[in-house]
Amino acid sequence: MVKNLRIKILFLLVLMSLQSCEQILDQAEENRAQESFTSEFMGYYKGSYTGDLSGSLEVNVRKDASVQVIRSTAGNPDTYITNLIMSSFNGVSQSPEGFMLIGNMQTKNGTWKMGNLKGTWSVTKN
């Protein structure tokens, strides 16, 4: 009886270790895929935004699809980091002043908002 219990416990431990190995391999494969990923929109873009406010806009799309957005009005920069989901801005991240781009890098344009203020934006790749 005790011998059967030991065999069952040993069998269970072997199954659990195999499952853990599979999870480790899956995670390693996912990590490799992320490391080799390069956003098709990677690059530096310049443009402008207009509407209730207007000024210049710089968008730097990094390899991992993270994006640095710098908007300037009368020489005062306002910077924030966001991410692309496919080609679209994540729609959550905003600058310290509340500025947020809405749109995508496929068309290189969209809308922006900051509190009750809003307008449109467009950029071109440098």
Determine the average pLDDT of the residues in 62-84: 93
Extended beta strands in the chain, E state = 43-51, 55-61, 66-73, 76-85, 88-89, 100-104, 109-114, 117-125
Provide the whole-model pTM. 0.72
Does the pLDDT at position 110 exceed 90? yes
Distances (CA, A) of 91 to 8, 30, 39: 52, 25, 18
Q: How confident is the model at residue 111, as a pLDDT?
A: 96
Greater pLDDT, 83 or 4: 83
Q: How confident is the model at residue 61, as a pLDDT?
A: 97
Determine the average pLDDT of the residues in 111-124: 97
Distances (CA, A) of 78 to 6, 40, 44, 68, 81: 65, 26, 17, 11, 11
Tokens of 102: 């809405």
Domain spans of the chain, in order of start: 1-36, 43-125
Q: How confident is the model at residue 34, as a pLDDT?
A: 55
Is residue 55 a contact partner of residue 72, using CB atoms and an 8 Å limit? yes
The share of the chain scoring above pLDDT 90, in percent, equals: 64
Does the pLDDT at position 31 exceed 70? no
Greater pLDDT, 13 or 52: 52
Average pLDDT, the chain: 87
- Tokens 């690059």 correspond to 43
Does the pLDDT at position 76 exceed 90? no
